[in-house]
Every structure is written in structure tokens, then in C-alpha cells.
Chains A and B, each alone.
Chain A
Amino acid sequence: MAAALTLDGIGKRYGEFQAVRDLSFSVERGTICGFLGPNGAGKTSTLRMILGLQPQTEGRLEILGAPDGRKVRDRIGFLPEERGLYKKMTPIDAIAFFGALKGLPTGEGKRRARAMLKDQGLEHAQTKKMKELSKGMAQKVQLIASVVHGPEFVILDEPFSGLDPVNQQGLEAMIRGLAANGSTVLFSTHVMQHAERLCDKVVLLARGRKAFEGTVDEAKATTRRFLELEGEIAEDAAKALPGVVAVETLRTEGAVRVLKAQLAPGGRGQDALKAAFLGGLDVRRFELREPTLHDAFIGLTGDDPDQDQTVRRETVSEAAR
């Protein structure tokens, strides 16, 4: 499958601060790629380089066959992390205006805007002013504005932030719809569940470096399955169970511990549990857990994706200035 986007060793430096370093990955046409990492990991800087809003300080990139996003601006749709539209405009006018900037005739833009708003259940909001819409509605309108011209490549920066679960579900459906229509979607997020549900491929980023590139299953495979045990159980006793390679105490309440027993590749949880019961261990609760993308991220980077890395970066950034 041909790549719609290829990054080859790109980096971004702000003064003394290296925000992104030696980043290489590719996104195949018609796929959904999740660009994952905590806030401040360098996702927005990378997306801005792809769009040509900021030049990279190292490496090279190619998007839709062009060396710079600015050269294929009309074929790209972009939803920035911090969103906003002209407050006094109606959704129809706003969508048509941004479509027109991408080369879509205003009349056609308005026609498509009406149809897309109707699809999203926003028919009633067509003639209202943007400032009268709820945050969820406005976010949908902005997403429509970024894809109304039918882009080949769609870049969404943290599209789910600030949305309630119902709207998040609606947005997931929209993203699937874009891919189904042949668009390539690259979206950044620090919430792993969305990526797990949506992505054909994920790229994990931590502290400006790529930590992983591959499918969700491949990412999960980097982390072992584990058995969670609760009871008055000594760590050593748990470690002696068959198939268990490491034990970690997650929390303690008096003599009761919650232990995370990592299983060896191919290790069966049932065997470990059977041995625990036969051995007379005080097992009051147990759970055999498959690793999530979140676990994989922590395993791969040592960072928690929910942890903000922005503070550290801004401090360094300020010092660099």
C-alpha cells in the first residue's frame, strides 16, 4: 500500500530545546493512524511540521507526494487542538468559508455543509450563530469545516478533548466514515481507548521520540498478560506460582495486598490460579487481565500517557528563550 505520509528522521528544535527528535514513521493511504503520547510529547509540533506551519529543523517528510504540507494544502483537512470558529458566523457560512479557502466553490460548500450538518443531527443549528452552539456542537461544526472539501489526508489534533461520551462516539463514527470514503486520517490523542477502537496503526511518542510504530495488537503484544490477585498473600508466594515471572504490589490495605503477577509468554493464568488455590493462598479476588494500549504505552515508554509533559517542556522552552 502506498504511503500518504512519510517522515524520515525529522526533528524540531526551539532554541536549545529539542521538542521532536529523529522521528520516522509512515501512514498508508486510506488508513487511520493514531499518534499517541502525553501532552507535551511533541505531537502538535510534529503535526505542524507535517502541515508546513513550522519547518522541521532536521530530516525530511513527504505528504501526498509533496515535501511540504503547504504545497498540498487544498488536499489536506486540519482540525487543531484548540478549536474556535468565528463566533458571529452561522455554521453554514463558517463551513463554506473554510471550504472556499481550500478551493471549494462557496455555493457547493454551503450545499455540502447543509447535508453534513443534517447527517450529524445539527440541522436545527444551521442558521444559529456559532456562539449560540454548545461546545460539542461547535466541535462537530469545526470538524465538518475541516473536511467539507473532501480532503485526501485529514489531520486531527486531539479531536476528542472536551467532548462528552456521546459526542466522542459520534466523532469516532465520523472518523471511520472519512476512512471509509478513502481519506487517510492521522489523529493525535493521549486517550488510548479511542486509538484502540479506531486505529489501523499507532505511533507512540514520548518526550519527543518515537517509542513504537505498528498495529494496536502489535503494541499490546509488547506487554505481558498479568494476573491480579487480592488477599493476604506474600509477594514471594505469588512469585513461586507457575508461569509467573514478576510480581508487583499495586496497593496494600492492612495485611491485604493487591498484587500484579506478570505471566511469562505463553504462561496460562489458569495454571497459576490452580496452584494458588491448591497451595492454600488467601485469594479473595482474582482477575486475569489482557494488556491494554495504555499498559503497552507504559511498558514501552515508562511514561503514563495521562501525565502531562508540557510543564517540563515549557520550562525548558522559556529557559531556551
Chain B
Amino acid sequence: MNRTLLIARREFAAYAKTVGFWLSLLAFPMFAVLGGAIPILMRTSEPVRAVVLVEEGPGAQGLAGSVRDALRADAERRAENARRAQEQAAKATGMPKEAVAAAEKQGGGLSASLNRQRLRIVDTPAALASAAPGEAQTEAARDLLTADVERDQRIDSIVFLTRDATGKPSARVWTRRATDDTVEDFVRDALKTTNRREVFEGAGIDGAVVTDTERFRPEVTAFSPQSVSGGEVSFRDRLPTIIGLASAFILWSLIITGASILLNSVMEEKSNKILEVLLSSASATEILTGKVLGVALLTLTVMLVWVGIGAAGLIGTRPDWAADVASVITEGGMIWYFVAYAVGGYLMYAVLFAAIGAFCETPRDAQTLMGPIMMILVIPIIVVQMALRTPDAPLVKIMSWIPFFTPFLMPARAPADPPPVEVFGTMAGMFATALLMVWIAGRAFRAGALSDVKLSWKTFGHAIRSGGR
């Protein structure tokens, strides 16, 4: 086996044989799942708040009823959402609706749980009902909200409904926890609706008409000649944009991860004085190539595992989406974009990070150069979001031509079919820069490996000029 492959194999094995590598590799999909699961868990575990409604004076009469109506309407909307979720599940899995409902029930009723109400109206406690309006009533509310009682007997909020000087509905909301604004928000919306209805009724418009009007949700359908059907825009049509965004983020993440592994690996060899031994056995080019190749294999492993987990998850839950994703990736040629930009981007950053590592024994030594580089690397992540909505924006176009940003911005623009001159021009620029970086990094690596000078822009520049001579 030649020296480059030997070094690549050792580099790969040094990481792939560690438990930490596999744990960190699985961390991304795990956090992705957690990222989706945590809001669901938060919503399902959120308590239903017990609310007492108190109408203050004859002017406020009917406001409690309005809040109850709003709560009822909210319950209907949530039930409708749960029903739709079950319908979608039945459609995706091909199971009968009854079976989905049964499975849902068996699984603890997730969709129902997600769509349950967040508050319930309870009867006014005697202590509050019998208290005289004003200070006594406020004092009674304080006592009720601080009382240490069982959860099912606890009152979370007391809402005093009233009308202001102009006759508009208003409320004072007392809550057990000052930071909990759920009831406050709900009451505000309910009173807003009440006021709207009263204003319309005052203008002679029937309340039922107002209610029906508010419930109306227009059906808006998007059409585009570029859609697959040539007309209506479907999820399938939006998929390339989603994949473009995902590609940009995955590439960014993989390239930075790979380059950082390389930086740490070279730093470790420098601090352990292994680089000098390696240099007596192989050329700087062989060492650099071997290390870059070994870490590329690691990065590829990470990507395959991530893609594998993602594909398995998608095929298991939404086989129709999985088929669409596969067709976009293969038929649209997006996979080639991904491969080309992954190779160019990785090469550019990996060799640069390796050269920096050759001057450093600790991460602190590398800070001088790594700080500005990492700041620059944040820019494409900001611009990539603009690239998805307006891929032809002048700023996006200009940034795409900057070779260090090309591997992240162009995959995001790919679904919008940028002109071939931009595709091939930016790609040529990226690969030319990658080759230049290989040349620069090779010289800096050779100089840094045997040097004991402190890393700075000046010494790095000097190393590139001297090439270790």
C-alpha cells in the first residue's frame, strides 16, 4: 500500500474506531429528532389551566359568555385539526381511518393530545363570589391563587371582566405564575372578537353573520407553469427548494466538521512531535493528501449514516415523500451538484485547516487565524436563506462567485436552474481556488511542521512564501 493510503487509513481508523466518533455522528440525527419531539412533548405535557371568570358590574354582563363561546370555538377548531391529522396519517400509511383512530388511541392519542385545549372554565369559588367588589375581591383572588391545594382543585387564573369608560370590553387577569400569559392572550383574543361583533351589531349587522364571516378560510391554490403538472404547485414542486436548503446546510456542516477534524488531527501530531517522524518517512504532499483523504472518508461515512437514517425515517413514515425526494435528487441532477460542491468545498477548507494545524500545538494557538475564518463562514449561512427565496438577487449572485461561499450557495440556488455560465463559472472558480489552496497549504504545511514559531498572519504568510525552505 502506498504511503498516502497508509496515512489515510490510519487517519480514518484513528477516529472511526472510537466510541466518541459514533456518538457524535449519531448526535445530529438524535438532536434533529429531539428538535421535533421536544415541542410536541412540551405541548402534550402542558397543563390545562383552571380559569375563573368574574363579571364586574352589570356593564360587564355577557362578557363571560363571550369568553366561553370563544373557548368552545377554539375546541371545535382543535378537534378539526386532530381529525385532519388522522386523515393525513390514514392517507400516508394507507390504513383505514378507523384503524388509524384505534392506533392513535392505543398510542396515547397524540394528535388529540396535541390539539387539546389549554384552559377550562371553572365555577367561581364561594370565597370570591361572596367578596365585595374592589379590595376585598382582589384579596380573595390573591388567597385563591396562592393556596396550596391539590392540582385538580387548584385555580390558575382569575379573570375580572369589565368595560372601560368608552364601553369597550376589558379585563384584569390574575395568574398563579406571573410569567404564564396563556390565559391573558386567550382573553385578549376573545374580547377582541366580542368587541368586533358588538361594533358590527351596532352597525346593524347580524352577529351570526359576523361569526360565519370570521370562520371563513379562503382556499388559495398556487399555480406555476414550472410545476410538475404545469399548473397547480404541489409539495413535490417545493421539494427541490427544501432539498437545496438541506444540501447547503449539510454541506456546510460536513465541510466544517471534516476540516475541524483535520485541524485537530494535525495539531495532535504536531504537539506529539509525530509530524517530524512522518516527514522523514513521507513527503509533505503525501502526508497532507493522506490526511485529507482519510478525513474525507470519515466525512463520507458521516454523510452516509445521516442520509441512511434520514432515508429510513422518511421511507418508514412517508414513502410518497421518499419517492419524491429520490426523484428530485436523481432526476434533477442535484446529486452531482452536491458531489461537486462537496469535493471542492472540502478540499478548500480541509487543506487550509491542516496547514494552520501544522503551526499549532493547542487550539488556542490556532485562534489567531481560525477566529476570522469562522466569522467569514457564517456569511453563507445567512445568505443561503435569501438564495432560496430570491435565487437571482444580485447579492446572492455576487456572493455565489466568491469561491469560499460557492459550495454552500450554489446547491441552494440549484433548484432555480441558474444559468449554465454561473453554474460552470462558479464551479471552475471554486476548483481553481481549491487547487490554489492545495498549493498554498502544501507550502505552509511543510514550513509549519518543522517550525516552532508562534502562528500569526505574518508567520503564515512568510511560511507560504518560503515553503519551508
In contact, A97 and B283 (Cβ under 8 angstroms): no
Q: Decide yes or no: A86 and B14 within 8 Å by CB, A76-B280, A146-B277 being known contacts.
A: yes
Chain B, 23-43, CB within 8 A of any chain A CB:
none
- The segment from B224-232, B268-276, B365-373, B382-390 that touches chain A is B268-276
Contacts of A268 in B (CB 8 A): none
In contact, B3 and A101 (Cβ under 8 angstroms): yes
User: Interface 1/0s, chain A 57-69, versus B by CB < 8 A?
Assistant: 0000000000001
Q: Out of B272, B453, B459, which one reaches A85, CB within 8 Å?
A: B272
- On chain B, the number of residues with a Cβ less than 8 Å from chain A's Cβ atoms is 25
Q: Out of A78, A87, A97, A106, which one reaches B280, CB within 8 Å?
A: A78
Q: Is B10 an interface residue (CB 8 A)?
A: yes
In contact, B276 and A86 (Cβ under 8 angstroms): no
Q: Out of A54, A84, A98, A100, which one reaches B468, CB within 8 Å?
A: A54
In contact, A53 and B3 (Cβ under 8 angstroms): no
Contacts of A85 in B (CB 8 A): 272, 274, 277
Q: Is A284 an interface residue (CB 8 A)?
A: no
User: Interface 1/0s, chain A 75-113, versus B by CB < 8 A?
Assistant: 010101011111110000000011011100010000000
In contact, A98 and B14 (Cβ under 8 angstroms): no
Contacts of B469 in A (CB 8 A): 54-55
Task: Give the CA-CA distance A209 to B462 in the complex, in Å.
Answer: 27
Contacts of B282 in A (CB 8 A): 73, 101
User: Interface 1/0s, chain B 239-276, versus A by CB < 8 A?
Assistant: 00000000000000000000000000000000111101
Residues of B contacting A: mostly: helix
How near does chain A come to B345, taking the closest CB pair, in angstroms? 29
Q: Out of B7, B18, B462, which one reaches A321, CB within 8 Å?
A: B462
Q: Is A48 an interface residue (CB 8 A)?
A: yes
Q: Out of A86, A87, A101, A321, which one reaches B281, CB within 8 Å?
A: A101
Task: Give the CA-CA distance A87 to B272 in the complex, in Å.
Answer: 8
In contact, A101 and B6 (Cβ under 8 angstroms): yes
How near does chain A come to B11, taking the closest CB pair, in angstroms? 10
Task: Give the CA-CA distance A237 to B319 in the complex, in Å.
Answer: 109
Q: Is A51 an interface residue (CB 8 A)?
A: yes
Q: Out of B6, B450, B462, which one reaches A97, CB within 8 Å?
A: B6
Q: Is B278 an interface residue (CB 8 A)?
A: yes
How near does chain A come to B436, taking the closest CB pair, in angstroms? 24
Contacts of A321 in B (CB 8 A): 453, 459, 462
How near does chain A come to B280, taking the closest CB pair, in angstroms? 4
Q: Is B220 an interface residue (CB 8 A)?
A: no
Task: Give the CA-CA distance A208 to B233 in the complex, in Å.
Answer: 78
User: Interface 1/0s, chain A 33-74, versus B by CB < 8 A?
Assistant: 000000000000000100101110000000000000110010
How near does chain B come to A200, taking the closest CB pair, in angstroms? 24
Contacts of A83 in B (CB 8 A): 273
How near does chain A come to B456, taking the closest CB pair, in angstroms? 11
In contact, A73 and B274 (Cβ under 8 angstroms): no
In contact, A98 and B281 (Cβ under 8 angstroms): yes
How near does chain B come to A195, taking the closest CB pair, in angstroms? 23
Chain B, 433-461, CB within 8 A of any chain A CB:
450, 453, 459
How near does chain A come to B444, taking the closest CB pair, in angstroms? 15
Q: Is B279 an interface residue (CB 8 A)?
A: yes
How near does chain B come to A188, taking the closest CB pair, in angstroms? 14
Q: What are the nearest 10 A-B pairs in CB distance?
A: A84-B272, A101-B281, A84-B273, A78-B280, A82-B273, A80-B276, A84-B274, A51-B280, A100-B6, A53-B279
Binding site for B on A (CB under 8 A): 48, 51, 53-55, 69-70, 73, 76, 78, 80, 82-88, 97-98, 100-102, 106, 142, 145-146, 321
